[in-house]
Structure 1
Amino acid sequence: MNKQILKKITSNQLFIPLMALILLAVINLINDPGFFKVTVGTNNAGNPVLSGYLITILDYGSELAILAIGMTLVTAASGGQDISVGATIAIAGSAMLRVLCGGNSRPETIKAPIIVAFLVACIVGMLCGAFNGMLVAIFKIQPMIATLILFTAGRSIAAWINNNELPIVPDPKFAYFGGFIPGIPIPTTVFIVIACIIVIAIVLKYTNLGLYTQAVGINENSSRLNGINPTFIKFLSFVILGLCVAVAALIKVSRLSTINYSVIAKDIEMDAILAVALGGNALSGGKFNMWASILGAYVIQFLTTTLYKFNVQSDALAAYKAVVVILLVIFSAPTVRDYMTKLTKQLPMFRKEAA
């Protein structure tokens, strides 16, 4: 019975991200129990807000969780990853600012409603996703190579949209999406990610998107014989990721009410890919667990916040995350899994049970 219970627990896809989360929690608890302290303070506008490391993780992990939703579908359907996510955020964010500020980088009032600017960003994000999807699905280009185009040129395109200027949105309400709504102490990003999770949960439950995506990722030819259009499914997954990118762009740009083309969302695509991998999803495509990817996103943000807590320089963060990637790749290797299975069988408790 002990062996069966252990096997059931360890085989669950949520096991690895949960163990990583527990490990990080224990490390921070030992180092500084105050890490988990949440306090109520006031922001610059005098409104009550919650603050603390846990709130930071929930806040900044939300935009990564939103990206992980789209990245999971792209990975499952195409067996590859989109490395242009950060650059596409810059493009969608720049388009949003162009609509809000018009041709003036320092307007006295916004030139269009915020909802209109956001819808434009959604269209731009989906068009970028459609471009990547077309290269992958129709022209059969490997996803990482196909998305390298926007990865290279995206930030230049974003700067061109606003004539290389840095527009500033004058309406304080725009800052609510990346900050706090007056009277509500919880970050707005938490509500945005909850809305996104509800939408994807409904889509996966009441449509065949999840089933078709996995079928295409597992065996494209077999899925075609079963009446599924692999080209459309791959294309659609990139478009959905483009929509997720637009939501993340709204949050990113809203935080400062402006944009820095070279810095905004820098390397966030790596975190999104790592979230998918940490969730136990095969980066070669096929079966996926959306909830594991979302949990993986918050684990990555937990790791990032922990590293900052230990005074690790921002330039060195990538090196520490690279170690996590290496460990994930090693533990997911078939030879290592077989070795761990044999090692488990040699434990005294299991030998006694076998006898």
Structure 2
Amino acid sequence: TDALVALADAACGLRDWQPDWTLLVQRHLDTADALLPDAAVAGAAKAALEHELEGLRERLATLAAGHGDDSDRAWVHGLGEVLSSHLLHAALGGEDAGWARLDAREVLCVHPGELGVAVDWEASRDRLARWRQRHPQEHVVVTGFVASDAQGRPTTLGRNGSDHSGAIFAVLFGADELTIWTDVDGVLSADPRLVPDAVCLPMLSYAEACELAYFGARVLHPQTMAPAIRHALPIRIRNSRAPQAPGTLISTVSRGPDGLHGTPVKGLSLAEDLALLELSGAGLIGVPGTAERMFAALRQAGVSVIMISQGSSEHSICCVVRQAQAEAGRAAVVEAFAEAIDDGQAQGVNVTPDIAVLAAVGDGMVGTP
């Protein structure tokens, strides 16, 4: 995907993209030869790859000529999953072995939402039902990351969108469980680089998994869990390099068969490279709407708020933001409260850089002294 993004950027920037395109073509043809020992199977797969990559060349030429739009860029960015699906489909035996291949752009309909890309579930279900009538095979290879908008134009789910696609299609296909294959044994109780004796957690609730992911655990993107939570779909995290490991099961419950949580704290996660931004002033006490003004200013500046803490009567409001956004956040809040600061009603905005947030996560902490 990085290579495809770079190709699109080069084409839009009127730089020579053709040598890198040629390298990408050769990389995929070499992979087909290495992956598929049968010459006939490899030949068919390479023909499909060459067809897709010729389409890439045409899209890049369109972008270089200044005639492309966002949908053309999205088509280019998402091609990696399409190429991978051809290779995987062939490696599994293809149609002869009972495998269908689904380009998600034919089925998955999405639209921009307030919190990111949102799925049009009704339209997607209708499209999948029609696709299944033409492709009744039991096993299906589906592209991740890519989708279409309501007008049928190609788009993507954004980076980290492949696992999100898995959750979406697990719901659309009515699956009993979604398995996410990754490179660790499951969700660990802490970062093993910082805590060498961290253990793999056998079971987590959705809430616990969301908290751990939000505060820096890299195993599962929070967006992936949204369709699963909505449809009560269990997610199992497993290690593709150690398939014998049972992994971590994420579902509606965090308790084992004995009804116990195990320990009140399931895990610890650490979010680094953060800053503390504080607005304070005696003149803010009892003034309605102070917090609303502050967070509206941060939203307008595109600053993401990690945590919020408010003193009594709005005398001080603190929030944790990403270090890289701290100065933009400070400037936005200063502008929003310029009059109050000039009048001495507010003491100004202070930034404490280089902080980390340590989160202790566990449903069992509720009510536990």
TM interval, shorter chain, is under 0.3
- TM-score scaled by length of structure 2: 0.27
> Which structure shows the bigger proportion of residues in helix conformation?
1
> Which structure shows the bigger proportion of residues in strand conformation?
2
Structure with higher Rg: it is 2
